[in-house]
Each structure stands twice: as structure tokens, then as C-alpha cells.
């Protein structure tokens, strides 16, 4: 069974299974940092976790080979640590085009804690780098981060609905300037974190040096680059 979005067809059953495991893993990660069970129970859980690891490690891809569900040209990346449906690290953000830029919602659990009760400042940086990059893609642009800058007006509480936004401020050819922020969903006009980023398309010789060895699951070269359109993002 195959399905298409903006990118090449993919195996919809495999996509559903990757998303199911990703969701289960995110639940386990959160439970593991919030639990107060005793040491015996923790060790028993570790044993079970290692058993699952053995099952999944039966076959694995090398770092130069993209997952079969991925398409770097339309930025379908199922294990991206911010947006990947299969990533245990990701909230995951569902980023959609809106208001001339991109927007996403998130409610962050204890696993993202920095100061007690609040989101780790670096987690805001992680999420905003992805949001800013997604804004370039939504605008039909693309680039690698060369500068990222954040101002923190106040701490972001855990377990509280947040809204993240980003939009291209200036398209200067190979270089794109993007800005955005994170606010409480209950006060979306008052961002608690403000972010600015600069994204640059590497020159062709560098693109080749960086990504020349990257292939899709079938072994065909598959470097990232500027998409011809940005329909991989959900549209309002």
C-alpha cells in the first residue's frame, strides 16, 4: 500500500507503524522521568527496554542512508528530533503554513525541564531552529543555519499549551533571515521567547562535500536542497 504527499510515494502501513512506535516511545520517555517506582522496578524496566532494543537492532541503516519513508527534497523526515513522527525526542511539532509564515502548537512535558517547572532554555532554541528553518521551506527557500539568536522574556511553563510562530523577514538570495517566537497559547501576542535566524544555501562544492554520500533507502543519491514547492507542509 502506498500513499503520496508532496514527495514520492511511501508505504502507508510502515508510516503508521513508525508513528505508533514513536508515540509509544514518547510516552515511555515521559513516564521514565516522572516515575517514582523503586530501584527494583527501574531495573526490571531497563531489562525490558533492552529486550525491545534487541528486537529493533536486528537490522539498521547506516548514517548515510535515509529512512525509506524520508524525502529530503520535500523535507519529509520521520525521525527529525523536533518534528519526526517516529522520533522519541520530538514533541513532535506539527508545523503548518499560516499567516504568511508557519505555526505550531506544543505542550511540553517533564522530559523537557530546565529550571524546576519550566522548559529548558536550550529546548526553546532547538524548537525555534526548526520553526525558523520550516519558515524558509514554506517560502520555497531552504538553507542551513548559520546564525541563531534567542531572547528570553520569561520562562515557559511545562504542561501548558504553547504556540510557536516563524516567518521569513528577508530573502536575500542564498541567505534568508527569519524571525519568530514562542508564546503561551492563552497570550499569543506576547512572546516569551523571541528568535532570529539566518539560513544560507551552501555553495555547490560544499553541498557535494556535505551530502555527496547521502542516499535514499534504494541507494540513489538524495542530497537536500531548495524544494520546487513547499506543499510538504500542511496548509490552513
Answer whether 177's CB lies under 8 Å from 98's CB: no
Choice from 3, 210, 229, 234 touching its own copies (CB under 8 A): 210
Nearest distance from C-beta of residue 15 to its own copies, angstroms = 9
Compute the CA torsion angle 101, 107, 112, 118 (nearest 10 deg). 100
Answer whether 218's CB lies under 8 Å from 180's CB: no
Question: Is residue 223 near its own copies by the rule CB under 8 A?
Answer: yes
Question: Is residue 113 near its own copies by the rule CB under 8 A?
Answer: yes
Taking the CA of residue 66 as centre, how many other CA atoms within 13 Å lie in the half-sphere pointing to its CB? Answer: 24
Choice from 6, 31, 169, 184 touching its own copies (CB under 8 A): 31
Site residues for its own copies, 39-98, by CB under 8 A, read: 39-53, 55-61, 63-64, 66-68, 72, 79-82, 84, 86-89
8: closest CA among 232, 233, 223, 225? 232
DSSP letter at 156 equals P
Site residues for its own copies, 137-156, by CB under 8 A, read: 144-152, 155
Choice from 94, 185, 187, 213 touching its own copies (CB under 8 A): 213
Q: In b/e form, how buried is each residue of 27-40, taking b as 16+ CB within 10 angstroms? A: eeeeeeeeeeeeee
Task: Report the residue number, 56 or 172, with the smaller CB distance to its own copies.
Answer: 56
Choice from 76, 93, 130, 201 touching its own copies (CB under 8 A): 130
Question: Is residue 214 near its own copies by the rule CB under 8 A?
Answer: yes
Amino acid at each position: 500500500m502506498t500513499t503520496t504527499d508532496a514527495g514520492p510515494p511511501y508505504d502507508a502501513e510502515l508510516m503508521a507503524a513508525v508513528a505508533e512506535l514513536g508515540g509509544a516511545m514518547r510516552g515511555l520517555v515521559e513516564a521514565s522521568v516522572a516515575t517514582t517506582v523503586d530501584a527494583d522496578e527501574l531495573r526490571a524496566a531497563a531489562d525490558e527496554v533492552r529486550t525491545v532494543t534487541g528486537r529493533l537492532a536486528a537490522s539498521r541503516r547506516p548514517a548515510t542512508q535515509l529512512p525509506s519513508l524520508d524525502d529530503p527534497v520535500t523535507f519529509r523526515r520521520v525521525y527529525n528530533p523536533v518534528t519526526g513522527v517516529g522520533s522519541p525526542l520530538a514533541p513532535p511539532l506539527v508545523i503548518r503554513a499560516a499567516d504568511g509564515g508557519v505555526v505550531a502548537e506544543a505542550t511540553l512535558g517533564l522530559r523537557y525541564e530546565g529550571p524546576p517547572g519550566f522548559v529548558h532554555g536550550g529546548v526553546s532554541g532547538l524548537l525555534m531552529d526548526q520553526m525558523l528553518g520550516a519558515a524558509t521551506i514554506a517560502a520555497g527557500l531552504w538553507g542551513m543555519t548559520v546564525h541563531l539568536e534567542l531572547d528570553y522574556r520569561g520562562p515557559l511553563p511545562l504542561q501548558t499549551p504553547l504556540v510557536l510562530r516563524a516567518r521569513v523577514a528577508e530573502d536575500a538570495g542564498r541567505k534568508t533571515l527569519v524571525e519568530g517566537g514562542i508564546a503561551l497559547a492563552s497570550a499569543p501576542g506576547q512572546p516569551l521567547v523571541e528568535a532570529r535566524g539566518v539560513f544560507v544555501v551552501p555553495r555547490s562544492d560544499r553541498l557535494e562535500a556535505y551530502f555527496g554520500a547521502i542516499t535514499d533507502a534504494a541507494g540513489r543519491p538524495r542530497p537536500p536542497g531548495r524544494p520546487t514547492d513547499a506543499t510538504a507542509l500542511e496548509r490552513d
